[in-house]
Structures are given as C-alpha cells and as structure tokens.
Structure 1
Amino acid sequence: MSHSRTVEIEGHIIDSGTMQRCFGAVMDLGGSFDVEQFDVGTHEEAESYCRMRVSADDEGTLQAILHELHQNGAVLEDPSDVALVAAPDDKVVPPDFYSTTNHPTEVRYDGEWIDVEQIEMDCALIVDPDGPDGEPRAYTKVLNAVEEGDLVATDESGIRVNPPERPRGSGGAFGFMQGGVSSERPSESTIREVAAELREVKAAGGNVMVVAGPAVIHSGAGDALADLVEAGYVDSLSAGNGFATHDLERSLYGTSLGMDVETLEHPRKGHKHHIWTISEIIRAGGIEAAVEEGIVTEGVMYQCVRNDVDTVLAGSIRDDGPLPDTVTDAVEAQDAIRDQAHDADIVLMLATLLHSVAVGNCLPSTTKTVCVDINPATVTQLLDRGSAQAVGMVTDIGTFVPTLAEFVLEGDEDAAVAEAGENA
C-alpha cells in the first residue's frame, strides 16, 4: 500500500537549488514524486511555485521524506495550525517536540502565519497566545530555559521554514552559499570586500561581533584588532580566558604566553607572565578596574573598556586563574553569547574553533559570517554550521587582521578627505 502527501514549495527555488535538493531527497530516501503543477518565474523578481505529490511504500519512509522537504522550505498543502503541547515541567519538553533550524521560520496559529523570533538551531519553539501586546507571539527557547506550561510546538505541522535564497544581484564576497574553502582565494580583494561590508554595516547603524582566539595575540594582530575597536568597528567581543590573559600580558609585560611577539624572544621567567598577569588583574578587582587604575594601558581589552564594548569571556576547564571577568558557569556563558549573537549583523570569527562553533550555533542562517583560520578543516567546520552568507579564508590571522584594519581605516581616511573637499 502506498502512502502519499502533497507539498508546496515557492520562491526563487530554481536558481537557489531548492528544487534539486527536494527532488534528490525524495529519491535518496526511497520515495517517488509526481509534479502536479510547476509555475516558473520568468524574470528576476518573479518567484516560482511547485506542487508535487510525494509517495512512499510505508508511513515511516514518507515521514522521513516530508521532514527533509520541510527543512528545504516545503509545506503541506492546506497546512493545519501548529500543534502545541504544554511543557510538563521546567526544562522538560513533549517527546515529539519540534527542534528548530537556524533558518527564518514561521508558525501557523489561529489561521495566520507568525514569524518566529530569535531563531536559532536546536531549540524548542514556543507560542504565547497572548504576547506582550496582546497578539500571539512565537519564539525559540533552549531546553534548559523551558518552563512548565510553555506551549511547545510538536511535529512539523503548521511550521514553515524559509531557507535563504540566492539574492537578486551580486553578492560580492558574501555571495549565496559560496562557502567554498580554499587557500587559493585572492586574499587581498576578499579582505577589501569584507572591509567594505564592515563599513556599510556600521554606516547603517548595524552591529559587528568579533569572536577571537589567543592566536590573534600570539601572531601580533592584537594591535590591529585594538585599532578596529578604538575606531568603533567592534560592538561585541566573544572570547575566552586565554585571549584576554595574553592580551593583558602584552600590556603588562610586552609578551604573549611568555614570548615577545615582535622579536620572538623568550625573556627570562617569561613563562610566568600569564599567571602573574592574572594575579595582577585579580588584585585590581577586574579588567575594568585595572584599566581605570592605569595598570593596563593598551591592547584589545583596554580598548573594549574605553569604548564600552560588550565583552563575554567564557571559561573552560583548562583555564588558569581564571580572570575575575571570566564567566565560569557554562549555561550563563551560553546565554550571554546568545544575546550577543542575536544582535549581530556580521560576525568575524578569528582563529578559534570552539568559540566560533558556539557562536555559530546561535546565529540565524541570514547573518553574514567571516571565518578565518590557518587550518582548512576549521574553516570548513565553521561554515558547515549553516550560514548562507559566509566568507571562509584559510590564511594567517596575523596577516588578515592587520590588512583588514588597514583597509577599513583607509576607507575612513578617504571618506574624511572627500567630506573635507565637499565642505571646501
């Protein structure tokens, strides 16, 4: 006995590869399809529409196929309202709860489609029938934040995923799904495009988030990142205890993990500099206090304090000290990083795999992302988190950050000269 359902897909589904993925998913999972209607958009702004009947030999196979189609934006013909079940206890969700993707999502409630707020992968989807303004509201919650009585979406009925589509025009460095990783990519031209994007985001009042690893300091790129912070091109910084410690060590002792980053020499007792640094910051009462007292006089953390940059230092089991500013509660750190990620319009992930993956888990697929590391596998793993607008560069972080800062600040100088000419 054959089991079948009819699904609909619409949008720029041809040039974005959506139809190819949907057809492939049906056949790869052992099903078949019959295209009942296919209307092709015939100009740049026109959308296409497809209605097809999907069949499988058993209900389990059909459900697996429908799940894959759902992830690519397909919805059942004549969809029902979202199925909601109250959470039986705090941090407990119904057995068949819907686990979100990082793509823009809508739920159908009381016959209307509602945008899901704070979209993030691997979360529960909550519907509040009486939101703050009295209107229904849909949003995501991580499992440990679910409260007893929350109305949790189950299954996939009444839920519509909208994967990002190919933009109607040139995407530049952030072209749709261009996340191929290659050390052969022309670095200078790509960095110029990233610099231009940073300037555009800031000019529009957008938010720039930086995720940085200790290699930024070890490679000598800390000064350039500090320049970007001072110039107002960083709104939030997510890093670990190690990054901050080595940056502060550079200010106090001129070394990073005991090495002079200019001469590459190791001063006597240099291996103790990082732990001495932690001790001095603890004695001062924290990074901000150390800056205010004149103990720390330069570097990324110094500029973050001076420019009121939102900073989250997330701890790990291997941290020395740690610094008093480091968030050692993992769940608290996740929540703080999540707040930063939800506000970000563009994210620079600089030579840190674990922190970057953590941030990537919180980002919608529409957030522009730049991933830079000397290891190709690291960049690939970061891009595989699902961003549709991503730049991946396999290069030395010590080259990337100073070059980026040069191009960004060079643009500021050019703009100032142009403005002066107009006012003359």
Structure 2
Amino acid sequence: MTVARTVELEGHIIDSGTMGMCFGVVMDMGGEFEVEDFEVGRHKHAETYCRMRVMAESEDDLRAILHELNQQGATVADPRDATLENAPEDGVVPVDFYSTTNHPTYVRVDGEWVEIEDPEMDCALVVERADPEDPQGVGNADERRNGDGNTRVLTKVLNAVEEGDLVVTGETGIRVEPPERPRNGGGSFGFMQGGVSSERPSASLIEEIADEMREVRENDGNVLVVCGPAIVHSGGRDALADLVRAGFIDNLSAGNGFAVHDLERDLYGTSLGVDTESLEHPRKGHKHHIYTISEIARLGSIEAAVDEGIVDEGVMYECIDNDVPFVLAGSIRDDGPLPDTITDAIEAQDAIREQAHDADIVLMLSTLLHSVAVGNCLPSTTKTVCVDINPATVTQLLDRGSAQAIGMVTDIGTFIPMLRDELLEE
C-alpha cells in the first residue's frame, strides 16, 4: 500500500540547487513525487515556493525519505508538534532520536516554533519546558508564550544526555533552514562562493579576510584561531604572535604539539630540533621539545613560565600576557604532555565546543585533525577560513558543512605574515 505526505520548499531553492537535490533524494530512495504547486521568484530577491506530494511503498521508506528531505530544508505541510520521549538513562537516547545538522533548526513545541540553541551536527535535541512543574506541557501554555519563562531546545552530545531529558524523536515538527545562495552572490564568504584553489589571487582573499576580522573586532565579536605546529616550523609564529598582541585574536585552539614547539622556539631557538632561521640541526636538537615540556612541567604551567620570565616571546606568551583564552586538547600521540594540555577527551571536547559556539569567524591554520574537531562544533553560519599547503586537507575541512567558508592552498608561513601586514598596516 502506498503512503504519502506533502512537503514544502521555500527560498532560493533553484539557485542553490535545493529543489533538484530534493527531487533526486526522492527518486534515489525509491519514492515518487508529484509537484502540486510551483511559484517561481521572478526577480533576484524573490523566493520560489514548491509544494510536492511524496509517495513511498511503506511508512519506513517514507520516513527515511522525509528525513533526507528535512536535511535539505523541506518542511512537512500542516506540521504537528515534535514527538518527545524521555531519555531512559544517562548517555542513552530513545531509539528514533533526531540527529541534528549544523544548520539553523526550529522545533515545534506546544504549537510554537522554537529555534534551537547552538546548532551543531550529530547531536540530540533536548526540550527544556518553561514550567518545570509541568514537564509534559499540559498546561500554562499562555504563560509560556507571554514570557514567564521560555521553552528552550538545546543541542546535546549523546554523552551529555541525562535520564529523563525530553528528547526529540522522528521527523515531525522539525524545520531546517540551510543557508541559501541568492542571485546576488555575496563575495568570497557567500554560500559556495569561496571554494578551494591554489591559483586564486591570495592578496585579494587575504584583504577580504582582514576586512572581516576588522569588522568582527569593531563589533566586539570573537575571532577563533585553530593552530597547527606547521605555523612554528614554517616561520609564521612571530606574525601570529603579533596578531594576538594587537588584539585581533580572541581565542586560540590547538593541540599539545603547537604549544610545545612554540615554547621550544623561545627556549632553544628551534622547532622540532631545527633552527627555523638557519635550518641547521643543533646538537641534541631532537631532544629540545621534550626538554621544553620538562621545563614547563617543573614550573607548573605556561603562565608560571611567563611569570618567571622563562618564556618571554611567542604565541603562547602573548596569549598569557594579553589574557587571550586558549584550549590545548591532547591526543594519544602527545609527548609529556604540557601541564596545560587537557588530556581527558570529553573535557577537551566541551572546552572546544564552548570556544566554537562563541566564534564569529574561525581561522583554521594548517591542522587537519584539530580543525575537523572544531569544525564539527560549528554552526553552518559561522564564517570559516581554511589554510593548508595540501589541497586535500582544505577540501576535507570545507566539506564539514559550513556554508560560509573559503579555502586557501598555500604555505602557512606565507599566509600569516601577509595577513599580519594587512591588518597592522598604518
């Protein structure tokens, strides 16, 4: 027996390719569709509307198709409230829980569309009702809508879900709004405008990135930089330190390795045992990184090393000296690690997540794994810059789902000084 539901699409669905993708989803998954209404926007600011009936052989097949259409921004016509089920125990979600995208999303609760907080991919949605004495929302709807406490919908990673949490299940009552591409483009940070190219004129892109960073700074926004050790190895360290000192960096996220080699450069003049100026290999240079960790551990922290005058330059020094928060997330590969490095993976994720949610623009500089970790926590609307010498790295980072991302395939040791010069020019 054939089952069917009607869905609606609205916006710049032709320009962005959304309509074609939705047609393809239905056909690829064995369903059929019938367009019931189609109104094309007739000028560049006008939106297009499409209503179509989706048919499948079974309820399970239809549910799977509707899930994929939902991810593309399609909304079931005549929506009902979202289905909520209690989490059976800590860290366990109901079987049919809704797994999030990183796009702006709304959940229909008690007849009202509620925007989720901190969009992030691969999370559960948890509803916190306005009235804790009425957890199932039976009464007091008027009070909720009149401001006596507002119902909230939160993203939660699975390990943070607590027994009894009201978890959104199924596809009913959920509206996803992927960023669109209007006809007027939108510059390099516009949807799908940036792309990846090693032949793109670097100077013009760096100028635009600098303009974005200036605007964020002027509006009291937040710039997050994600750093890899190659910054130190390739000679970009001093330029990045200058940007921290000048107030253009508000948060720093890195692994143990970046901090170690930045500090090693200060203490021994080397990075990975190599003099970054002369490219010579000093005697015992291969041990400098572990000596560095030992010195910092002896003092207790990077901040203590700065206070003692042992560390007096570099990126980590400038972070301490200018009160720029940093998160150093450890991994199984780390030597030491430094006492400031967070070795608990869940604790490190939470710290990175807090940084990511506050960021208005993120610079991902020559570190694939750490950038992917940060990227997984970002909403699709956060402007993102990915820079790496390896084109595959930049492509993978941009494919994490940000709709406002540009990639540059270039030497990080060239990019950061150019960005520094652009931002600090008189």
Confirm or deny that 1:103 pairs with 2:103: yes
Q: Give the corresponding residue for 1:32.
A: 32
TM-superposed deviation, 1:179: 4.9
* 1:287 alignment partner in structure 2: 302
Contact 2:8 2:74 in 1 (8 A): yes
Structure 1 equivalent of residue 157 of structure 2? 142
Q: Secondary structure at the match of 1:295?
A: coil
Paired position in structure 1 for 2:122: 122
Match of 1:91 in 2: 91
- Residue 21 of structure 2 aligns with an amino acid whose one-letter code is R
Distance in structure 1 (CA, Å) of the matches to 2:73 and 2:219:
30
The residue that corresponds to 1:75 in the other structure is 75
* Aligned residue among 390, 402, 407 for 2:405: 390
**Contact 2:6 2:52 (C-alpha < 8 Å) held by counterparts:** yes
Contact residue 179 and residue 383 of structure 1 kept, 8 A: no
Q: Which residue of 1 aligns with 2:250?
A: 235
Aligned residues: 411
Give the 5 Å matches for 1:18-29.
18-29=18-29
Residue 10 of structure 1: CA displacement?
1.1
Give distance in 1, aligned partners of 2:388 and 2:281.
25
Partner of 1:297: 312
Displacement after TM superposition at 1:180 (Å): 2.8
* Aligned match for 2:373, one of 358, 366, 375: 358
User: What's the counterpart of residue 419 of structure 1?
Assistant: none
Alignment of 1:261-276 (within 5 A): 261-276=276-291
Q: How does 1:302-317 map to 2 (within 5 A)?
A: 302-317=317-332
Letter of the 1:203 counterpart: E
Normalized against structure 2, the TM-score is what?
Answer: 0.94
Unaligned runs of 5+ in 2: 133-147
Counterpart residue number, 1:182: 197
Answer whether contact 2:13 2:48 (CA < 8 A) is retained.
yes
Q: Provide the rounded CA distance (Å) in 2 between the counterparts of 1:292 and 1:80.
A: 60
**One-letter identity of the residue aligned with 1:194:** I
**What RMSD over aligned residues (CA atoms) do the two structures have, in Å?**
1.4
**Counterparts of 1:278 and 1:107 in 2: how far apart (Å)?**
48
**Distance in 2, Cα, partners of 1:148 & 1:57:** 36
Amino acid at match of 2:306: V
Per-residue deviation, residues 44-97 of structure 1 (Å, max 9, x unmatched): 333221111112233333222211111011111111101000111111110111
Letter in structure 1 aligned against 2:8: E
Which of 253, 263, 266 lines up with 1:248 in the alignment? 263
2:216: which partner in 1? 201
d(CA) in 2 for partners of 1:172 and 1:76? 33
In structure 2, the CA distance between the partners of 1:370 and 1:131, relative to structure 1 (3 Å rule), is farther
Deviates more, 1:53-62 or 1:277-286: 53-62
Equivalents in 2 of 1:97, 1:239: separation in Å?
A: 32
Q: Give the superposition deviation at 1:193.
A: 1.1
Cα deviation for residue 355 of structure 1 reads 0.3
Determine the structure 1 residue equivalent to 2:135.
Answer: none
Q: Offset of 1:42 from its aligned partner?
A: 2.4
Rounded to whole Å, the distance in 2 between the matches of 1:151 and 1:60 is 23
TM-score (norm 1): 0.94
Letter in 1 for 2:53: R
CA contact (8 A) 2:195 2:405 kept: no
In structure 1, runs of 5+ residues without a counterpart are 414-424
Query: Identity over the aligned pairs, expressed in percent?
Result: 74
Residue 263 of structure 1 aligns with an amino acid whose one-letter code is S
